[in-house]
A and B are shown apart, each in its own frame.
Chain A
């Protein structure tokens, strides 16, 4: 029984997917569309439902409600071994009682494809492990096992390749290397990859599109740069990178700008970058978009200026310096300054002002959790 693989060129669509477990709802009303040939990342903290979603696509769980459409056909009812979808498992799940080659050949043998072993060898060559074909998985290092798991899935040319946090067990350097390799392989074979991870840097680095998941639903979906530059919810703003956040009542808004009142100061953003323009909203700015000044900068309608405040912490992270600035009456702001070779121009305790351009603010559609509506 050789499963027909129309393979590439098939979109994956999840419609109204819901998954209930006794006692809690893991995925709630999820809608997702992944175009064929894309490297798609599903990003979120542990427990957000991303692994459950992946398992439902693989067929290892069935949704309580909703449809899973592959190329327009609902596969939610088919068994895993009937779906043209393959998974790279988190702990690789390599069969310990078979050689590496037999592991890779397993799927194509099951599908009764001709010449399983030569095909398996080619797949191993693609991940540069053909010399380990006769070893047992236990004899391989973590990085090598990961590549075998990848080869084992890829050799089947699935319509969709699911990767369940595959790089989690690798050390930093190896992980970076694998990220590059995975992306290269995906572009080379043109398959659709769905990569589940909690590592936001990894997602942003590798994916064409990122969907941020939280508590069973998708908060925001888009290209990494878009998500980063224009987070729409507080969760996305906090999960992807860091933000300085200001919560206040909208005091004036027009077609150009929207401003809130924050502890007696005015904080402004562009209206087209604000999700909500009435009531109490949160406006945020990324630390690397802010600057500090030793003297008070001249007021400018295009700038938000706060200060003076005291530098309470400086952290050196190689690429940049991270400053914590405590502004009385306002709170603590974080400022990243790129390390361009000069030693920090200010020291702990210095009094500085912080500013950023209003077009770098983003207005969120909701408030960070734990914050009351009326303040």
Chain B
């Protein structure tokens, strides 16, 4: 837009530098996962693959990682099912207490994690429930639910209701319409919501810290270790997750680009 030849490059340069800045901690974490450190991974001592190859040697890392996975998978499943149901209801049905429902679903998104975490912890305290895996999973379902609803809702909104009407017109009962038409078309949105919920659950720290008792998830492990120095194996896990996540995102984008190209070619 700007007429100055200099101005034309100003924005791209800024964006480039900012992205570089955003990548710094990622690079740092990745590099230091190869650090041949003793106890704390603070000073660079030398390059080694040992951390990657023997990642579970470091006490607690793999256990915490495993717990995080378990919690994330369970919470994601429950949250995705409940959230998808709500999203469908919100878009396709008319009901009286719509405003309150929207508000109720929105509040967890606007509540600071420390408040939700402390609240749940206070409630578990009052109920006398011991904090552990169950309480963590309960907490994770709670805060990921709204994210699922938002994501799936966006997808449901793009679904032409005429498609379902056509299904009914063509002799499919309501159940059949749902399974043969609605659900396959919603699936990308549902998967997207599930991935989001998984990512949020896996990386969650604050709510987890308040509600997990002695159970360690990966973020909790890192936090506790931060005082004396985070072991390089934690970097390994972190980097590994990063690579997998980026790979999935790229794969999804490549796949949809390829699909688009195939559709456009007659």
A40 to chain B, nearest CB (A): 18
| Interfacial residues of chain A within 4-59, with CB under 8 A of chain B in the complex | 58-59
B24 within 8 A of A: no
A64 to chain B, nearest CB (A): 17
Contact: B166 with A3, CB < 8 Å? Answer: no
Q: Kindly list 16 other residue pairs between chains A and B, CB separation below 8 angstroms, not including A93-B165, A156-B171.
A: A58-B169, A60-B169, A80-B169, A81-B171, A86-B169, A87-B165, A87-B169, A93-B160, A93-B162, A95-B163, A95-B167, A96-B163, A97-B184, A110-B176, A111-B171, A153-B169
A76 to chain B, nearest CB (A): 16
A353 to chain B, nearest CB (A): 55
Within the assembled complex, what's the spacing in Å between the Cα atoms of A18 and B266?
Answer: 46
Within the assembled complex, what's the spacing in Å between the Cα atoms of A138 and B163?
Answer: 14
How big is chain B's contact interface, by range? 20 to 34
B181 within 8 A of A: yes
Contact: B170 with A86, CB < 8 Å? Answer: yes
Report A126-141 CB contacts with B as 1/0, cut-off 8 Å: 0000000001101100
Residues of A within 8 A of B171 (CB): 3, 81-82, 107, 110-111, 156
Q: List 11 A-B contacts (CB under 8 A).
A: A59-B168, A80-B165, A80-B169, A87-B169, A89-B166, A93-B166, A106-B167, A106-B172, A107-B170, A110-B170, A139-B264
Within the assembled complex, what's the spacing in Å between the Cα atoms of A82 and B176?
Answer: 13
Known interface pairs A60-B165, A106-B167, A136-B263; A81-B172 also in contact (CB < 8 Å): yes
Q: Which residue of B lies closest to A22 (CB)?
A: B94
The prevalent SS among residues of B at the interface is: helix
Residues of A within 8 A of B168 (CB): 59-60, 79-81
A186 within 8 A of B: no
Residues of A within 8 A of B185 (CB): 96-97
Within the assembled complex, what's the spacing in Å between the Cα atoms of A153 and B176?
Answer: 18
Known interface pairs A81-B168, A111-B171; A91-B263 also in contact (CB < 8 Å): no
Report A71-101 CB contacts with B as 1/0, cut-off 8 Å: 0000000011110011101110111110000
Within the assembled complex, what's the spacing in Å between the Cα atoms of A58 and B172?
Answer: 14
Report B235-263 CB contacts with A as 1/0, cut-off 8 Å: 00000000000000000000000000001
Contact: B166 with A138, CB < 8 Å? Answer: no
Q: Which residue of B lies closest to A81 (CB)?
A: B171
Contact: A91 with B160, CB < 8 Å? Answer: yes
Within the assembled complex, what's the spacing in Å between the Cα atoms of A320 and B162?
Answer: 41
Contact: B263 with A139, CB < 8 Å? Answer: yes
Residues of A within 8 A of B5 (CB): none
B99 within 8 A of A: no
Q: Which residue of A lies closest to B171 (CB)?
A: A110
| Interfacial residues of chain B within 152-179, with CB under 8 A of chain A in the complex | 160, 162-163, 165-173, 176
Within the assembled complex, what's the spacing in Å between the Cα atoms of A60 and B172?
Answer: 13
Across the interface, B170 reaches (CB within 8 A) one of A90, A97, A139, A156, namely A156
Within the assembled complex, what's the spacing in Å between the Cα atoms of A85 and B168?
Answer: 11
Residues of A within 8 A of B169 (CB): 58-60, 80-81, 85-87, 107, 153
A230 within 8 A of B: no
Residues of A within 8 A of B170 (CB): 81, 86, 106-107, 110, 152-153, 156
Q: Which residue of A lies closest to B161 (CB)?
A: A93
Across the interface, B166 reaches (CB within 8 A) one of A82, A87, A136, A139, namely A87
B202 to chain A, nearest CB (A): 30
